[in-house]
Structure 1
Amino acid sequence: MKLDQFEAWSKRIASWSKAYLAGLRRRPVRAQGEPGDVLAALPASAPENAEDFETIFADFERLVPDAMTHWQHPRFFAYFPANAAPVSMLAEQLANTIAAQCMLWQTSPAATEMETRMVDWLRQAMGLPQGIRGTIHDTASTATLAALLTMRERALDWAGNREGLSGQPRLRIYSSAEGHSSIDKAAWIAGIGQDNLVKVASTGPLDGMDQAALRAAIAEDRAAGYKPAGLVIVTGGTSVGAMDPVAELIAIAREEGLYTHVDAAWAGSAMICEEFRHYWAGAEGADSIVFNPHKWLGAQFECSVQFLANPEAQVKTLGLRPDYLETLGQSDIVNYSEWTIPLGRRFRALKLWFLMRGYGLEGLRDRIRNHVAWAKDAAYEISTIDGLAIVTEPRLSLFSFAAQDDAATEALLQRINDDGRTYLTQTRHKGRFVIRFQIGPFECTREDVMTAVKAVRELHSTATS
């Protein structure tokens, strides 16, 4: 493709994108096809000769949009959002055009220095103290892995990287039973092992980690000859929005010499609103915090920010600077590839710059406050439906509900998602099958939320009439 064709097609794709976003409310939220439909429509082998782009784009229109679950749909109330504010999309277009590999300062000075500034803008916006620094990862899963690797190396005095794990003390990591599966996977990849990830029971109205149970687990492990290394604290668990008592857990960790990581992947965005910061009171004392601007804040996926009280331990764990990656004459330069796992890095800070300037912090706060208020409204409306009950009250914009038994709840969820007006997902809470309702789409309105509630009401009534 020549540059003049590139320009023309860029304009055409921009027009298509506008129409797609404007028409999302007319589409079913969840993909309606069957497994294998797209695969069967794709040729078994690549073409030997170039094809006309008109043909390629026509095939895209024919095959792709109707076979996608529409994550930007204003009634996508499943999982957590992967929002893409329009201004963030434009930043991504520019980053894609420049197409830099931002591994070092010298390969991308603007990307490196903008990352430093954007992380600090977010630190200030979230009420964290001066001196905390950070970096941008692809996802919270990667940031959590970086934190667990740091826990491992710190506990072993960095002997793991040097000598391997064979013959080293058996490490223990502690996490809430409400922690995300990415913590489990990080324990696997870090060589710590699933059996050494101790999941502490949750308790109380917010399903937070039981402090007495944590103390008992640490004492038991020390008596057995294990080496406690770190604690993962949850703010806004994926299942039902569990909130650990952050300050109290950090105090225990300090007493025990444990490295702390706060997983606030979803809920962290709400901390730009001062009135929600009680949910993670004490987080400023953590060694590491992760949150995903690509969830609730509107930065296009992927964009995960990790704050570090002192980056030195993580850089010592992950940093590697062979001769061919040196920046000559600049030995103390910041290269964020030494703070993160991959060497290769995208220009992710650009979309944060565009986003915060394009909406302003107050504009972003308004959206989050609306979503929290609408979640309370939706939970109340569902609580008035005969045969349905709220199982977990709204934690920020997430709540759960259920029918009279698991079978009825599962059948209702299937009807809701087949209907297409909204998309909800399931989890289990204390052994009970429940439906999660999480409000977070960047462009949703209260009417969208009430449309989803109406669908729940109608589809439940149809089954019980």
Structure 2
Amino acid sequence: MNAAQFRKHGKEVIDAIADYYENLDNISPVPNVKSGYLYKLVPDEAPENPESFETVKADIETKIMPGMTHWQSGNFFAWYPSSSSFPSIIGDMYSSMFSIVGFSWISSLAATELETVVMDWLGKLLGLDKRFLAINEDGTENKGGGAIQTTASGAMVTMIATARDRFLESLTMQQAIGEDDVARLRPRFVAYFSDQTHSSGEKAANVIGCKARILPSNDDFSLTKEVLMAAVEQDKKSGLIPFFVCGTFGTTNTAAIDDIPGIADVAADNNMWLHIDAAYAGGALVCPEFRPLASGIERADSISINAHKWLLTNFDCSALWVADSTHLVNSMGIRREYLPRVKGDTSFVKDYRDWQIPLGRRFRALKLWFVMRMYGASGIRAHIREHVIQAKWLEERLLADGRFEIMAPVVFGLVVFRIKPTALSEHDRADKDVINKANIDLAELINNEGRVFILSTMLKGKVALRATIGAVHGSLKNVEVLLTVLQKHFAAAINHELVIKDANDNDSSLPCIPSFFTDV
């Protein structure tokens, strides 16, 4: 494809993208295919000779599109949103145009410096403490700063490894331990998470080879100071070494907020690294009215927020800030002769390869830059507030219906609810398993119809449904559709009338999907 052909076909792709977004509400958010469908539609090997753009484009429409789950649909209420906006798409296009591997300042000066700038922009927009910024008010360089990671999971691994290395360094300085001692001590390191922490916490502990202590959350699904403090003291008596704790601002299951001030106290008393996972709800901090809920995060060592969840930026774009980048660079930095350092004045020179696990990195700052400039702070705040309004609307309607109960406070864009036990027959309401099955069946009935997509989850032995409101291209009309579908299938759910449709059935309007009971 030459430049002239690219110009022509690129415009066609832009039109196709615009058409897609304009027609999303007319497409089922979940596909109507069986697993393995695509293997039967594509060749076993790549083509020997070139194929035309028209042929490939046709296959997108006839082979790929039928198997897509449409995360950008306003009728997608399953997981937390994966943002997409036209300014972000344009920024991504420019990033693809440059196609840099921005591992250091010298490998792409503008990419590095723009990332430093936009991460400070975003940090200020979120109201983060000044210690997390890269540039001080007087224009001098600060110890803190931010770097864009792929996901919050990647940020978690990066921070837990950094925390381990910082702790080992402090032990080495205090006790003059050697390499053999380090190898002996590492398996005794303990990282702390609640039973509501994202799965990335436990995975990160597995990756670096430390113990993961999963602590019970309270009735509000939050980790408390008292529970953490008791676990730390118990582990220290057992000869273990507490070094890391994750506090969550907006858990996956319920958007609960941990006792961050209390957790910060325990972390400070025990020289533990405090990481705040605010992947979803952290985006709400652009609105000043939500900031009191995040009291204590200014005491953290690191904070991660996924701009690709609620901040209008296409996946992947996970923002990670540290209060002192020295520990991060010491942990992640590796020297090689083919990775030269800048000589002379190195003020404001950042080699972001030392702020992450991979060496290579894309020019992700461009799409965040486009979003922040073309929406402005006011537009981003309006985007967040509108989803909160819609979530509150759904909560009010469910309560007014009388047959549902809200399982967790509706603070952001997540509504967690279930069928009230009293809405079942007197015989059924006495059986916990029957109540749970009615809620599972309700989710499956909804998903089998195919108009909306929702998930069920488990909260302390009770099955509940999660409706996440956050689609960039959605509106209150989509939430109204969700409520209508909920009420439509209510009777069938409590009367055990679930019928699973197969993709080979004649009714092709129903998607063939598995059970969506999940731990999210």
User: 2 CA distance for matches of 1:69 and 1:395?
Assistant: 27
Paired AA for residue 165 in structure 2: E
Q: How does 1:110-189 map to 2 (within 5 A)?
A: 110-132=110-132, 133-157=145-169, 166-169=183-186, 170-189=188-207
Partner in structure 2 of residue 66 of structure 1: 66
| Distance 1:65-1:165 versus aligned 2 partners, 3 A rule | farther
Q: Note the alpha carbon deviations across 1:144-173, whole angstroms, 9 max, x for none.
A: 101100111112228799779632251011
Partner in structure 1 of residue 325 of structure 2: 311
- For the Cα contact (< 8 Å) 1:201–1:210, is it kept in 2? no
Aligned counterpart for 1:259 among listed residues 253, 258, 273: 273
How many angstroms does 1:387 deviate by?
3.6
Partner in structure 2 of residue 373 of structure 1: 389
Partner in structure 1 of residue 229 of structure 2: 215
- Aligned pair count? 461
User: 2 CA distance for matches of 1:182 and 1:341?
Assistant: 15
Partner in structure 2 of residue 190 of structure 1: 208
Could you say what secondary structure the match of 1:394 adopts?
A: coil
User: 1 CA distance for matches of 2:449 and 2:156?
Assistant: 36
- For the Cα contact (< 8 Å) 2:190–2:242, is it kept in 1? yes
User: 1 CA distance for matches of 2:332 and 2:494?
Assistant: 57
How many angstroms does 1:388 deviate by?
2.7
User: 2 CA distance for matches of 1:281 and 1:227?
Assistant: 27
Q: Note the alpha carbon deviations across 1:53-106, whole angstroms, 9 max, x for none.
A: 211111111111121011111121111011111110011011111111111111
How many angstroms does 1:321 deviate by?
2.5
Deviates more, 1:329-338 or 1:179-188: 329-338
Q: Note the alpha carbon deviations across 1:259-303, whole angstroms, 9 max, x for none.
A: 100000001100011111122111011000000000001111000
Paired AA for residue 18 in structure 1: A
Q: Note the alpha carbon deviations across 1:153-205, whole angstroms, 9 max, x for none.
A: 1122287997796322510111122100000110111111xxx2111221143
How many angstroms does 1:245 deviate by?
1.3
Partner in structure 2 of residue 27 of structure 1: 27
Partner in structure 2 of residue 421 of structure 1: 451
Could you say what secondary structure the match of 1:291 adopts?
A: strand
Q: Note the alpha carbon deviations across 1:190-232, whole angstroms, 9 max, x for none.
A: 111xxx2111221143x21122121111111111111110110
Q: How does 1:42-441 map to 2 (within 5 A)?
A: 42-132=42-132, 133-157=145-169, 166-169=183-186, 170-192=188-210, 196-205=211-220, 207-330=221-344, 332=346, 333-403=349-419, 404=421, 405-441=435-471
Could you say what secondary structure the match of 2:303 adopts?
A: strand
Deviates more, 1:144-153 or 1:42-51: 42-51
Partner in structure 1 of residue 138 of structure 2: none
User: 1 CA distance for matches of 2:245 and 2:411?
Assistant: 23
Partner in structure 2 of residue 14 of structure 1: 14
- Percent identical pairs in the alignment equals 33
- For the Cα contact (< 8 Å) 2:21–2:473, is it kept in 1? no
| Distance 1:204-1:410 versus aligned 2 partners, 3 A rule | closer
User: 2 CA distance for matches of 1:47 and 1:432?
Assistant: 52
Aligned counterpart for 2:488 among listed residues 444, 458, 461: 458
Deviates more, 1:127-136 or 1:296-305: 127-136
Q: Note the alpha carbon deviations across 1:304-329, whole angstroms, 9 max, x for none.
A: 01111111111110011212111442
Deviates more, 1:343-352 or 1:2-11: 2-11
- For the Cα contact (< 8 Å) 1:83–1:296, is it kept in 2? yes
How many angstroms does 1:461 deviate by?
3.6
Deviates more, 1:282-291 or 1:162-171: 162-171
RMSD, aligned α-carbons = 1.8
| Distance 1:325-1:234 versus aligned 2 partners, 3 A rule | same
User: 2 CA distance for matches of 1:242 and 1:328?
Assistant: 45
Q: Where does the alignment leave 5 or more consecutive residues of structure 1 unmatched?
A: none
- For the Cα contact (< 8 Å) 2:160–2:205, is it kept in 1? yes
Deviates more, 1:420-429 or 1:407-416: 420-429
How many angstroms does 1:431 deviate by?
1.1
- For the Cα contact (< 8 Å) 2:242–2:272, is it kept in 1? yes
User: 2 CA distance for matches of 1:301 and 1:204?
Assistant: 33
User: 2 CA distance for matches of 1:163 and 1:284?
Assistant: 36
Deviates more, 1:42-51 or 1:179-188: 42-51
Could you say what secondary structure the match of 2:463 adopts?
A: strand
- For the Cα contact (< 8 Å) 1:89–1:300, is it kept in 2? yes
* TM-score, normalisation: structure 2: 0.86
User: 1 CA distance for matches of 2:282 and 2:342?
Assistant: 38
| Distance 1:248-1:259 versus aligned 2 partners, 3 A rule | same
Deviates more, 1:44-53 or 1:346-355: 44-53
Could you say what secondary structure the match of 1:443 adopts?
A: coil
| Distance 1:101-1:384 versus aligned 2 partners, 3 A rule | same
How many angstroms does 1:425 deviate by?
1.1
- For the Cα contact (< 8 Å) 2:332–2:355, is it kept in 1? yes
Paired AA for residue 26 in structure 1: N
Q: Where does the alignment leave 5 or more consecutive residues of structure 2 unmatched?
A: 133-144, 422-434, 496-520
Could you say what secondary structure the match of 1:64 adopts?
A: helix
Could you say what secondary structure the match of 2:131 adopts?
A: coil
Paired AA for residue 289 in structure 1: I
User: 2 CA distance for matches of 1:387 and 1:242?
Assistant: 24
- For the Cα contact (< 8 Å) 1:200–1:210, is it kept in 2? no
- For the Cα contact (< 8 Å) 2:224–2:262, is it kept in 1? no
* TM-score, normalisation: structure 1: 0.95
| Distance 1:127-1:6 versus aligned 2 partners, 3 A rule | same
How many angstroms does 1:46 deviate by?
1.4
Partner in structure 1 of residue 511 of structure 2: none
Paired AA for residue 407 in structure 1: K
Deviates more, 1:35-44 or 1:115-124: 35-44
- For the Cα contact (< 8 Å) 2:87–2:371, is it kept in 1? yes
Q: Note the alpha carbon deviations across 1:113-154, whole angstroms, 9 max, x for none.
A: 010001100111111122311111010000010110011111
